[in-house]
Amino acid sequence: MCGIIGYLGEDQAVPVLTDGLERLEYRGYDSAGIAVFESGGINTIKSNGRLSALREKIREQGTPQGTLGIGHTRWATHGKPSDYNAHPHSGQNGKITLVHNGIIENYLELKAQLKAEGVEFKSDTDTEVVAQLAEKNYNGDLIETVVKTVSQLNGSFALGILCEDYPDTLVGVRKSSPLLAAVCDKGCLIASDITALLPYSEEIYRMEDGEICMFTKSGAAFYDFDGKPIEKSAETVGLNAKSADKNGYEYFMMKEIYEQPETLRATINQYLTSEGRVDLGEASKGFGELKDINRIFIVGCGSAYHAGVVGKYVIEELVRIPVEADIASEFRYRHPILDNHTLVIIISQSGETADTLAALRLAKESGARVMSIVNVEGSTIATESDCVLFTRAGIEIAVATTKAYSAQLATLYVTAVYMAQELKTVDDNEIRNLEHYLAVLPDAVEKALGTKEQAKELASKYYEKDHAYYVGRNIDYAGAMESSLKLKEISYVHSEAYAAGELKHGTISLIEDGTLVIALCCCERLLAKTQSNIEEVRARGAKIICVSTEDNVKALKYDDLLLVPATHPLFVGSLEVVPLQLFAYYAAKFRKCDIDKPRCLAKSVTVE
């Protein structure tokens, strides 16, 4: 969840490191630091707070001069945000300095051993244990030292390492935490995310679990955790630095909201033939025999889980196989009943989400088939799945996901239509109808973006509310969960989502005069039921915002309205979230929140 960057080259390291940290700050925000090899030693500068505080400290102390360095932006796991807990960390003699993303699970045991041997610690972090341990293990050979050190560590870690005796060497290590490497005209880099590499190279090395990279001015070398050399090839990524720019938008989140139509076109069209028929191509082989599947689990975290709830409703309706949507951190510990007749659908934007990856491995160990929906080719989840359907969302910088969530929904629709077609649970006329609505879904989302000014006006009206309640039934309920999350994570308004039929079972006691209730009313067959629930909260003084399709609005009573285009009833989840993404954005803006970087949140959750 932290951001790591390392650089070795011809240029001064500090500008490369700080620019990279700025591109990685959505991964960590509470402290930052750099270490640069300068005049025969390693100069470390670190600061509590955002990257701006580190930049100021560098100006005050003087910019280190050197062409080799590492940097880190932190999301605290061990120890409060502070200068002394910020990375990089060094051994007590300053021989080894490193940055770390992940969690060392046996750090207390290692720390006790090192303390007993006289090692003095300066921080509360698990990371300093790695630096102290590496320094204790150091025998003059840096690769041997790294190999011995990682063999003693339990947990997940990506490391960037400098050694005082190696003034032209940068080492990277990966185990269960993302790390990429790149070589460019003027040097080489490592980073925890591709955004930091794109300004320098579109050719990257994807580090796999259990790999070490060593960069020197003479080239790159790769090793496994036994210290044996391995061969790796660089690959070209279809992205560039502009992909991670705001392109004139004030915040990345608004840019990404507006990128949703194009994201959907790219995602859906790869699974439609020129005749508009659903075709998964090679990916379909990973499903195995669909007729043998008698149960489906959809597993994800956060918004990916919410997409899975939509997928549950859509797949059950079309395919008539029981589906459970599960939060990954619960699924992996509840001893789910899995066998070779089970299909597990794993959803992760990054393809590295820690709990989701653990759920995948549990499913594989139990004999289940695993299909993943991810946005990153070559990611761990993609690599370990039986088949993969890639979303084409590109880079998403804002912590609150929008376009990646929309792409996940679309991929679940494609999956459901494919399965229904193959199992013949829906006649071909309806399959053709579904394929038509899939093809035009990006256009419908584009129309839904026309609610921007209405959403802004409603946000200006309601942003001072301390509480908001989102309600809906069926797919509307899933949309309520995702929309509520958007509001709470970027505006810090207390917001909850409820199945509308549950209001009478306790929640209605929270409704009082002026309470904001946002009712999602796009599920036509349950509209009358939802309207009854709306009347119940209206009778108790609630202010109602309804989100509805043009076909349904006449049956509703409300204080304010957000209209979205009509679509197939199973695809309304893609439309109803759009005005509520905009509503959340403007509510956060009126409340003067940092929209792209909400407090306590990081973009990629790579630890439990």
pLDDT digits (tens, 9 = 90+) for 145-179: 999 999 999 998 999 999 999 999 999 999 988 89
Residues in the chain: 608
- The confidence score (pLDDT) of residue 603 equals 61
Confidence of residue 605 (pLDDT cuts 50, 70, 90): low
Average pLDDT over residues 210-226: 93
Measured in whole angstroms, how far is the alpha carbon of residue 341 from the centre of its chain?
Answer: 29
Do 3-238 and 252-426 share a fold? no
- The confidence score (pLDDT) of residue 381 equals 93
Distance CA 315, CA 425 (A): 11
Number of helices (H) and strands (E), helices first, in the chain? 17, 25
Instruction: Annotate 588-606 with DSSP letters as a single string.
Output: HHHTT--SSS-TT--S---
Confidence of residue 184 (pLDDT cuts 50, 70, 90): confident
- The confidence score (pLDDT) of residue 23 equals 85
Average pLDDT over residues 137-144: 96
Q: What are phi and psi of 245, to 5 degrees?
A: -105, 160
Least confident of 127-136, 199-208, 560-569, 599-608: 599-608
Give per-residue pLDDT as tens, 24-48. 877 667 899 999 999 889 999 999 9
Average pLDDT over residues 116-135: 95
Q: Annotated catalytic residue: which of 2, 188, 523, 593?
A: 2
End-to-end CA distance of the chain: 10
Distance CA 199, CA 571 (A): 38
Q: 3-238: what CATH class? A: alpha beta
Read off the tokens for 382. Answer: 């993609």
**Strand blocks (E) in 512-600:** 516-521, 543-549, 560-564
Confidence of residue 444 (pLDDT cuts 50, 70, 90): very high
Task: Supply angle C-alpha 527, 533, 536, rounded to 5.
Answer: 145
Average pLDDT over residues 86-96: 95
Distance CA 367, CA 339 (A): 5
User: For the chain, which residues make up each domain, given as ranges?
Assistant: 3-238, 252-426, 450-590
Please say if 2 is a catalytic residue: yes
- The confidence score (pLDDT) of residue 577 equals 98
Task: Supply angle C-alpha 491, 497, 500, rounded to 5.
Answer: 145
Q: Annotated catalytic residue: which of 403, 452, 543, 603?
A: 603
Comparing CA positions, the residue from 450, 487, 443 lying closest to residue 465 is: 487
Least confident of 31-40, 331-340, 526-535: 526-535
Confidence of residue 279 (pLDDT cuts 50, 70, 90): very high
The overall average pLDDT reported for the chain is 92
CATH number of 450-590, picked from 3.30.56.10, 3.40.50.10490, 3.40.50.1820, 3.40.50.2300:
3.40.50.10490
- The confidence score (pLDDT) of residue 247 equals 83
Give per-residue pLDDT as tens, 48-59. 988 899 999 999
Mapped onto helix, strand or coil, the DSSP state of residue 562 is strand
Q: What are phi and psi of 449, to 5 degrees?
A: -65, -15
Name residues whose C-beta falls within 8 Å of residue 502's C-beta, 6 or more positions apart in sequence. Answer: none
Average pLDDT over residues 436-450: 97
Which helix (DSSP H) or strand (DSSP E) does residue 236 occupy? strand 235-236
Instruction: Annotate 20-86 with DSSP letters as a single string.
Output: HHHHHGGG--SEEEEEEEETTEEEEEEEESSHHHHHHHHHHH-----SEEEEEEE--SSS-SSTTTS
Q: Is the pLDDT of residue 556 over 90?
A: no
- The confidence score (pLDDT) of residue 75 equals 76
Distance CA 101, CA 71 (A): 11
Distance CA 140, CA 458 (A): 65
Read off the tokens for 312. Answer: 């549950």
Distance CA 234, CA 570 (A): 41
**Spatial contact of 582 and 576, defined as CB atoms under 8 Å apart:** no
Name residues whose C-beta falls within 8 Å of residue 326's C-beta, 6 or more positions apart in sequence. Answer: 297, 298, 299, 305, 308, 336, 359
Please say if 603 is a catalytic residue: yes
Mapped onto helix, strand or coil, the DSSP state of residue 129 is helix
Q: Is 423 exposed, middle or buried (0-12, 13-18, 19+ CB in 10 A)?
A: middle
Q: Which residue has the tokens 């912590």?
A: 399
Average pLDDT over residues 104-109: 95
- The confidence score (pLDDT) of residue 203 equals 84
**Spatial contact of 248 and 259, defined as CB atoms under 8 Å apart:** no
- The confidence score (pLDDT) of residue 1 equals 64
Q: Looking at this protein, which amino acid is placed at residue 201? A: S
Distance CA 462, CA 456 (A): 10
Number of C-alpha atoms within 13 angstroms, CB side, residue 242? Answer: 3
Q: Is the pLDDT of residue 469 over 80?
A: yes
Least confident of 207-211, 362-366, 503-507, 584-588: 503-507
CATH number of 252-426, picked from 3.40.50.10490, 1.10.3720.10, 3.40.190.10, 3.40.710.10:
3.40.50.10490
Give per-residue pLDDT as tens, 378-397. 888 999 999 999 999 998 98
Q: Is the pLDDT of residue 606 over 60?
A: no
- The confidence score (pLDDT) of residue 599 equals 82
Comparing CA positions, the residue from 472, 505, 506, 466 lying closest to residue 487 is: 466
